[in-house]
Amino acid sequence: MQGVTVTAKVVGWAKGPKIDGFTYKKRTNQRRRYGHRQKYSVIEIVSIKIVSIKTGSTKSTPTKKG
């Protein structure tokens, strides 16, 4: 979207749910177990600025704390 600026800051990191996987090939005794856990960044939206293309004025909408 044009004319929109979002400002955010990184608060920390979190881990997603654990995924347990299992692969095999039949009749060949090939089996493998694996696990995966995705890492995510936790962010806080500080402000959103909307710039009007027609007038060029800015409208700031601060986010609520808490």
Opening angle at CA 15, ends 40 and 64, nearest 5? 55
Q: CA separation (Å) from 49 to 15, 17, 23, 59, 65? A: 30, 34, 48, 6, 17
Element (H, E) at 5: strand 4-15
The pTM of the full predicted model, rounded to 2 decimals, is 0.52
What is the band of 64 on the pLDDT scale with cuts at 50, 70, 90?
low
Give the residue-averaged pLDDT of 18-38: 96
The domain containing residue 34 runs over which residues?
4-62
What is the band of 51 on the pLDDT scale with cuts at 50, 70, 90?
confident
Q: Count up the domains in the chain and report the number.
A: 1
Give the residue-averaged pLDDT of 33-59: 86
Q: How far is CA 30 from the centre of its chain?
A: 36
Model confidence at 32: pLDDT above 60 = yes
